[in-house]
């Protein structure tokens, strides 16, 4: 039976698009999400480009959703995968 999991690349691309549409730069996002450095934002953007597998934490998804005025479901893109049955 297929199960839904987060599609990291599509989710990060979606987040990047939403931030860019609102005019947010990586440094703006760092400040709004109370991140110590901007590296996390760049890692998410790198994942959006297919060069990594870093996604925001749940706390950051919550903050991003509030900042963008959307739901967490609007941010996250899922994909179906098949798990092997184990005894």
Please write the tens of the pLDDT for every residue from 7-48. 999 999 999 999 999 999 999 999 999 999 999 999 999 999
Q: What is the pTM of this model?
A: 0.88
Q: What integer pLDDT is reported at residue 23 of this predicted model?
A: 97
Q: Name residue, tokens 């979606």.
A: 14
Is residue 83 predicted with pLDDT exceeding 90? no
Instruction: Give the CA-trace dihedral at 55, 59, 65, 71, to 10 degrees.
Output: 90
Q: What is the dihedral of CA 76, 39, 33, 25, to 10 degrees?
A: -90
- Predicted confidence band of residue 87 (pLDDT cuts 50, 70, 90): low
- Note the pLDDT of residue 2: 79
């Amino acid at each position: 039976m297929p199960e839904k999991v987060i599609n990291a690349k599509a989710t990060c691309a979606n987040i990047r698009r939403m931030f860019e549409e609102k005019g947010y730069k990586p440094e703006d996002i760092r400040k709004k999400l109370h991140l110590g450095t901007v590296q996390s934002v760049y890692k998410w953007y790198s994942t959006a480009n297919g060069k990594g597998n870093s996604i925001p934490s749940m706390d950051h998804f919550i903050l991003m959703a509030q900042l963008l005025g959307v739901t967490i479901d609007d941010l996250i893109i899922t994909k179906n995968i098949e798990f092997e049955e184990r005894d």
